[in-house]
Amino acid sequence: MAYKSDVIEQAKNILKKRAQKAQYDLEDRQELAYEKCPELLEIKKKLALSGIAVARIMLEGGDPQDRVEKIAKENLALQARRKELLAQNGFPEDYLKPKFFCDKCEDTGFVDGKICECHRKLLRQISFEKISEISAIKTSRFDNFDLSYYPDEPDAKTGVSPRRRMREILNYCKCYADDFSAKSDSIFMYGATGLGKTHLSLAIAAKAIEKGYDVIYSSAPNLLSKLENEKFGRNPDSVGTEEAILDCDLLIIDDLGAEFSTQFTVSAIYNIINTRITYHKPVIISTNLTSQELEAKYSERITSRIIGCYTDLLFLGKDVRQIMNLE
């Protein structure tokens, strides 16, 4: 899974801090223990010296077995004495051992060259924190998607009950999120404003992130202005936006068509859609435009790619936000 480099860097820093904390805490405990019982410090020194002695014996060659065995025996005796002293002084048995955040990888982030579960969790958390800057992700869940806002009576134009349609769409999105993989299909959500497209795409995003996938969520205007600024060097701090957009496991473009349309935006959108189709990487697009409006705004080239390759979901109903008096 391709996490963005700043996410990887942040995780690395946290792992480093955890390892440092384990070391500092150990040093604090050592100080306390050695002050209370200086013999413990003697034992520590003797154990360290025996390690050096073993290394020297191995270097000297010959038949080291007897000498190494003797040292091993002495070490065991020292360890037993340490255990005794710790107990006598009221310290727990593991008092002088480092306490790692993760015992599996000892806070290195890797076990046998493979990324440790704690590290993976960290990457997920960080990328979630980034996306959760969009505050709506916390409140947009499947379980609070309220079908009662959608009329049960058939829609005059389509003859379909909006509630029934939205129930199907909700179920589809739930299954999509449950089965999500980096090779999932792409989804095209369209219909009038305020019908829950953002809610459901964020609910999918949260589930995909929970599963450890790298998700980018952005409104079309934000995404395109970020790309444009980067392209024309207007924001020197911003790098890798295009790579991240083309490469992430799930890209969600909200409100396509709300951006100010230029030659740049049209070709950028085509490039994103086309590249991600070529590499079988899922995209969720939502728009308030009809397919005719979309075609007028972009080109037949783009709309035919979307219509041909995406699963389209037509949202029906009355503007939920108006019903709820939110806007």
Q: Which residues bind Zn ion (CB under 5 A)?
A: 102, 104-105, 116, 118
Give 22 or 283: the residue with its C-beta nearer to Zn ion.
22
User: In angstroms, rounded to a whole number, what is the distance separating the alpha carbons of residues 255 and 273?
Assistant: 15
20-27, Cβ contacts within 8 angstroms, sequence gap of 24 or more: 21/101, 22/98, 22/99, 22/100, 22/101, 22/106, 22/107, 23/98, 25/98, 25/99, 26/96, 26/97, 26/98, 26/99
Q: How far is CA 138 from CA 121, 174, 219, in A?
A: 19, 16, 17
- Backbone angles phi and psi of 246, in degrees to 5: -80, -25
Task: Provide the minimum distance between the beta carbon of 102 and Zn ion in the complex, in angstroms, as a whole number.
Answer: 3
Task: Provide the minimum distance between the beta carbon of 111 and Zn ion in the complex, in angstroms, as a whole number.
Answer: 7
Confirm if 98 and 22 have CB atoms less than 8 A apart.
yes
Task: Provide the minimum distance between the beta carbon of 123 and Zn ion in the complex, in angstroms, as a whole number.
Answer: 12
Give 102 or 177: the residue with its C-beta nearer to Zn ion.
102
Give 10 or 286: the residue with its C-beta nearer to Zn ion.
10
Closest C-alpha to 319, from 170, 84, 189, 151: 151
Task: Provide the minimum distance between the beta carbon of 249 and Zn ion in the complex, in angstroms, as a whole number.
Answer: 22
Give 70 or 104: the residue with its C-beta nearer to Zn ion.
104
CA 209 to the chain's CA centroid: 5
Task: Provide the minimum distance between the beta carbon of 118 and Zn ion in the complex, in angstroms, as a whole number.
Answer: 3
Task: Provide the minimum distance between the beta carbon of 97 and Zn ion in the complex, in angstroms, as a whole number.
Answer: 17
User: In angstroms, rounded to a whole number, what is the distance separating the alpha carbons of residues 15 and 105?
Assistant: 10
Confirm if 116 and 110 have CB atoms less than 8 A apart.
yes
Question: What is the DSSP-derived secondary structure letter of residue 149?
Answer: G
Task: Provide the minimum distance between the beta carbon of 154 and Zn ion in the complex, in angstroms, as a whole number.
Answer: 56
Q: Nearest 5°: CA angle at 314, between 264 and 189?
A: 40
Give 121 or 280: the residue with its C-beta nearer to Zn ion.
121
Give 117 or 243: the residue with its C-beta nearer to Zn ion.
117
Give 116 or 203: the residue with its C-beta nearer to Zn ion.
116
**The amino acid at 10:** Q
